[in-house]
């Protein structure tokens, strides 16, 4: 059965962030991920993960200021220095927590802007990030995001992500394949995962349309999680969804996987 990782930015929000490691462990998780740990001391985050006995599998690079509309800055030509400073900071957090992979959010392109400069900036920044992460033994993820949830997001499809990785040419750079985003943008999830499996470094799940837990929407997770196993995917599956009610009542779907 797939190994599930609790996303501590969206699950167990009934308690403070640092207490969520223990809450996830008590619920049966042995792996966790989170989005942005940077408001907390890196050693405190690492200590809480170790104390709870959970492995950290993923977090994001710094992505600018969400309150000002940022959804990543990696493709933005005027923010290269900020992006590269964030790479170093993210590596420090990942190394402290023993986290093996970092996700890079591309960012939003202004309406009507020609894409060429944004593409070039993104590729150049990814080459830099992959090189720096490689020195630390870490893997870099890039995540296609659906443009219904985040209008104007630069990276929005799996084929686009694969082509960009070809251009970057780094053997430690992969796709973060989020079934929620890709169901909205493309569908055909099983066939796409089968085709791209060697390029996929991490998988995340949430149901469509409301980004709640599996079983609340249109995706057949019973089939897809079995298919992920059949394909031979060996990584964790990140539970990056908003519980429809509270976290624990929303975990009924996960009980067989957590017991396994």
Per the structure, the count of domains in the chain is 1
Catalytic residue among 39, 116, 132, 143: 143
Query: Which of these, 202, 104, 193, 87, lies nearest to 155 by C-alpha position?
Result: 104
Residue 179: exposure state from Cβ atoms within 10 A (0-12, 13-18, ≥19): buried
pLDDT value at position 241?
Answer: 98
Q: Is residue 92 over pLDDT 90?
A: yes
Quickly list H helices, the chain.
20-26, 42-52, 80-97, 115-135, 158-168, 179-185, 189-196, 221-231, 255-259
Q: What does the pLDDT average to over 16-26?
A: 98
CA atoms within 13 A on the CB side of 210: 10
End-to-end CA distance of the chain: 7
Beta bridge mates, 236: 3
Question: Do 141 and 102 form a contact (C-beta atoms < 8 A)?
Answer: yes
Q: Which domain holds residue 122?
A: 3-259
Confidence of residue 113 (pLDDT cuts 50, 70, 90): confident
| pLDDT, position 250 | 96
For residue 209, whether the previous peptide bond is cis, meaning omega lies within 30 degrees of 0, is yes
Taking only the tens place, the pLDDT of each residue in 141-172 is 999 999 999 999 999 999 999 999 999 999 99
Q: What is the pLDDT of residue 259?
A: 83
Given the residues 116, 213, 234, 240, the one annotated as active site: 240
Confirm whether 143 is a catalytic residue: yes
CATH classification of the domain holding 69 = 3.20.20.150
Q: CA 62, CA 37: separation in Å to the nearest integer? A: 9
Q: Indicate the pLDDT class of residue 201, thresholds 50, 70 and 90.
A: very high
Lowest mean pLDDT among 59-63, 111-115, 122-126: 111-115
Looking at residue 190, what is its pLDDT?
98
For the cut 90, the answer to whether the pLDDT of residue 112 exceeds it is: no
Whole-number pLDDT of residue 68: 87
- Residue 254 pLDDT > 90: yes
Q: Is 14 considered catalytic here?
A: no
**pLDDT surpassing 90 at residue 260:** no
What letter would DSSP give residue 252? Answer: G
Q: How many CB atoms lie within 10 A of CB 3?
A: 17
Q: What pLDDT is recorded for position 12? A: 98
Answer yes or no: is pLDDT of 9 > 90: yes
Tell me: the pLDDT tens digits for 46-80? Answer: 999 999 999 999 999 999 998 888 999 999 999 99
% of the chain residues with pLDDT over 90? 94
Mean of per-residue pLDDT scores for the chain: 97
**Bridge partners of 108?**
153
């Amino acid at each position: 059965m797939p190994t599930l990782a609790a996303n501590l930015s969206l699950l167990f929000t009934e308690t403070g962030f640092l207490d969520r490691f223990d809450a996830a462990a008590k619920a049966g998780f042995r792996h966790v991920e989170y989005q942005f740990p940077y408001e907390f001391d890196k050693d405190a985050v690492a200590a809480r993960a170790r104390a709870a006995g959970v492995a950290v599998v993923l977090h994001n690079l710094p992505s600018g200021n969400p309150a000002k509309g940022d959804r990543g800055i990696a493709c933005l030509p005027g923010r290269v220095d900020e992006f590269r400073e964030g790479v170093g900071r993210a590596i420090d957090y990942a190394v402290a927590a023993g986290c093996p992979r970092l996700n890079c959010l591309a960012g939003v392109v202004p309406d009507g802007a020609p894409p060429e400069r944004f593409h070039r900036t993104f590729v150049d920044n990814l080459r830099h990030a992959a090189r720096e992460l490689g020195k630390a033994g870490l893997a870099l993820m890039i995540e296609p995001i659906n443009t219904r949830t985040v209008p104007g997001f630069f990276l929005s499809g799996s084929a686009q992500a694969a082509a960009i990785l070809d251009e970057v040419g780094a053997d430690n750079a992969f796709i973060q394949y989020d079934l929620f985003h890709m169901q909205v943008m493309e569908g055909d999830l099983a066939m796409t995962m089968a085709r791209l499996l060697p390029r996929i470094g991490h998988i995340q799940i949430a149901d469509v349309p409301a980004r709640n837990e599996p079983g609340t929407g249109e995706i057949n997770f019973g089939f897809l999680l079995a298919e992920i196993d059949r394909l031979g995917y060996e990584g964790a599956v990140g539970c990056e969804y908003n519980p429809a009610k509270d976290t624990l009542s929303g975990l009924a779907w996960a009980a067989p996987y957590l017991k396994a």
